[in-house]
C-alpha cells in the first residue's frame, strides 16, 4: 500500500519495528508459559535451570483437576450437541425468511454475546437459585448453549447462503418431508461447516469462564473455574502445564477448522 513512498525508508523501518514489538506483546504471555511448564523447580524461574514433567504428572495425578477436566469435556460436548442443531434450524429460518425478520432474529440471537458475562452470570445465578439448580451441570449448560448458538450461526449462515435451495424443493416435490429434506440434503452438504460449527461451539464452552465461576461448584467445577481459583490463591507451575495443554488443544481445534474450510 505504501510502495509509492520508497524514499520514506526510515518511516517504514520505524513502523515495522513498532509492529514487531506489538506482535511480540501479543504472543509473549501465551509463549512464556510453555517453558515454565517443563521446569523442574518449584519457583517460577526463567529460563528453567532443569527440565522435568513433574507438573504434568501433578495435573494428571490430581483427582480435583481430573474431575474438572471431565466436567469441561462433558459440558463442551453437550453444548455442541445442543447448540449446533438449534443454530442450524435458526440459520435455515433466517436464510429462508430474509429481510427484516431475519435481521430481527439475528439481533436477538446475538444479544447474549454482547451482554457482559458478569450480568448473564448473576442473572442466571438468581434464576437458577429460585429453581434450586445452582451448582448443577444443567445451569452451566444452558449458559454455554446460549453463548455457543451465535458462534455456530456465524459459521453456518454463510455456508447456507451458498447452498442451492432448489435441491430441497425438488426433494419436497418428490414427497420428502422436512425432516428428511434437512437430514438427507442440507446436513450432508454442509457437513464441513457443521463440523467447524461443532468444534467452535465446543471451544466456546471449553473457554467460558465467568458463568462457570458463578454457577458451577463442587463436583461440577469446570477447568476455567478451577484455574481462576488457583490463580487467585497460588501460581505454581501446575497451572503452566495446564495452560500449555489447554492452548495446544485449542490451537489444534482452530487449525483443524481453518484447514478444513480451505480444503
Partner 1 sequence: MIVVRDPALAADARRERRFFLSLSLPALFIVGLAAILPILWIIRQSFLTTGGEYTVGNYQKVLSSGLTWSALVTTLELSLGTLAGCIVLGTPLALALASVRPRLANVLMAFVMLPLWTSILVRTYGWLVLLRRDGLINAALTGSGLTAEPLPLVYNFTGTLIGMVHYMLPLFLLPVYAAMRDIDPNLIRAAASMGATLRQVIRTVIMPLSAGGVFSGSIIVLIYAIGFFITPAVLGGGKVNPLSTRIERTLSTFQDWGSASVLGILLLVLMALIGVMLLAARRLVAQNTVEASHA
Site for partner 1 in 105-134 (CB under 8 A): 105, 108-109, 111-112, 114-120, 122-127, 130
Query: Which residues between 150 and 179 bind partner 1 (CB under 8 A)?
Result: 178
85 or 135, CB closer to partner 1?
85
Query: Which residues between 55 and 94 bind partner 1 (CB under 8 A)?
Result: 85-87, 89-90, 92-94
State how far the Cα of 34 lies from the Cα of 29, in Å rounded to an integer: 10
Tally of residues, the chain: 263
Least CB distance to partner 1 at residue 61 (A): 20
Q: Is 251 in the site for partner 1 (CB under 8 A)?
A: yes
Least CB distance to partner 1 at residue 192 (A): 20
Q: Is 243 in the site for partner 1 (CB under 8 A)?
A: yes
Q: Which residues pair with 39 in a beta bridge?
A: 51
Q: Is 51 in the site for partner 1 (CB under 8 A)?
A: no
8 or 261, CB closer to partner 1?
8
**How many Cα atoms are found within 13 Å in the side-chain-facing hemisphere of 157?**
17
**What are residue 211's phi and psi, to 5 degrees?**
-60, -45
75 or 240, CB closer to partner 1?
240
CA 163 to chain centre: 26
Q: Which three cell numbers stand for residue 218?
A: 463442587
116 or 188, CB closer to partner 1?
116
DSSP one-letter string for 95-154: HHH-HHHHHHHHHHHHHHHHS-HHHHHHHHHHHHHHTT-TT-HHHHHHHHHHHHHHHHHH
Q: Which three cell numbers stand for residue 40?
A: 523442574
* CA proximity to 76, closest of 198, 193, 221: 198
Please enumerate, as own/partner, the contacts of 102-111 that have beta carbons within 8 Å and a separation of 24 or more: 106/153, 109/149, 109/150, 109/153, 110/150
121 or 188, CB closer to partner 1?
121
Q: Which residues pair with 51 in a beta bridge?
A: 39
162 or 262, CB closer to partner 1?
262
Query: Which is it for the CA torsion 161, 167, 171, 174, positive or negative?
Result: positive
Query: Which residues between 209 and 228 bind partner 1 (CB under 8 A)?
Result: 209-210, 214, 224, 227-228
Least CB distance to partner 1 at residue 219 (A): 19
Least CB distance to partner 1 at residue 213 (A): 8
Least CB distance to partner 1 at residue 25 (A): 7
66 or 250, CB closer to partner 1?
250
Task: Identify whether the C-beta of residue 255 lies closer than 8 Å to the C-beta of residue 263.
Answer: no
Pick from 1, 50, 63, 179 the residue near partner 1 by CB under 8 A.
Answer: 1
90 or 216, CB closer to partner 1?
90
Query: Which residues between 2 and 31 bind partner 1 (CB under 8 A)?
Result: 2-5, 8, 11, 15-16, 18-19, 22-23, 25-31
Amino acid at each position: 500500500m505504501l510502495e509509492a513512498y520508497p524514499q520514506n525508508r526510515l518511516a517504514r523501518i520505524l513502523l515495522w519495528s513498532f509492529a514487531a514489538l506489538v506482535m511480540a506483546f501479543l504472543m509473549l504471555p501465551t509463549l512464556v508459559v510453555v517453558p515454565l511448564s517443563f521446569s523442574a523447580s518449584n519457583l517460577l524461574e526463567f529460563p528453567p535451570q532443569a527440565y522435568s514433567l513433574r507438573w504434568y504428572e501433578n495435573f494428571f495425578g490430581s483427582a480435583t483437576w481430573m474431575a474438572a477436566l471431565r466436567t469441561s469435556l462433558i459440558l463442551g460436548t453437550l453444548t455442541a450437541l445442543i447448540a449446533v442443531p438449534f443454530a442450524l434450524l435458526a440459520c435455515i429460518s433466517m436464510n429462508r425468511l430474509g429481510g427484516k425478520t431475519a435481521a430481527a432474529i439475528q439481533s436477538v440471537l446475538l444479544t447474549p454475546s454482547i451482554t457482559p458475562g458478569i450480568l448473564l452470570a448473576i442473572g442466571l445465578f438468581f434464576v437458577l437459585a429460585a429453581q434450586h439448580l445452582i451448582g448443577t451441570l444443567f445451569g452451566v449448560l444452558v449458559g454455554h448453549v446460549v453463548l455457543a448458538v451465535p458462534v455456530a450461526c456465524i459459521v453456518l449462515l454463510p455456508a447456507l447462503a451458498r447452498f442451492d435451495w432448489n435441491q430441497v424443493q425438488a426433494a419436497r416435490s418428490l414427497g420428502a418431508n422436512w425432516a428428511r429434506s434437512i437430514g438427507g440434503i442440507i446436513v450432508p452438504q454442509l457437513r464441513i461447516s457443521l463440523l467447524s460449527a461443532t468444534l467452535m461451539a465446543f471451544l466456546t464452552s471449553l473457554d467460558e469462564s465467568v458463568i462457570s465461576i458463578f454457577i458451577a461448584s463442587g463436583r461440577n467445577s469446570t477447568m476455567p473455574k478451577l484455574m481462576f481459583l488457583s490463580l487467585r490463591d497460588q501460581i505454581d507451575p501446575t497451572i503452566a502445564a495446564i495452560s500449555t495443554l489447554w492452548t495446544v488443544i485449542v490451537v489444534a481445534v482452530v487449525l483443524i477448522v481453518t484447514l478444513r474450510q480451505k480444503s
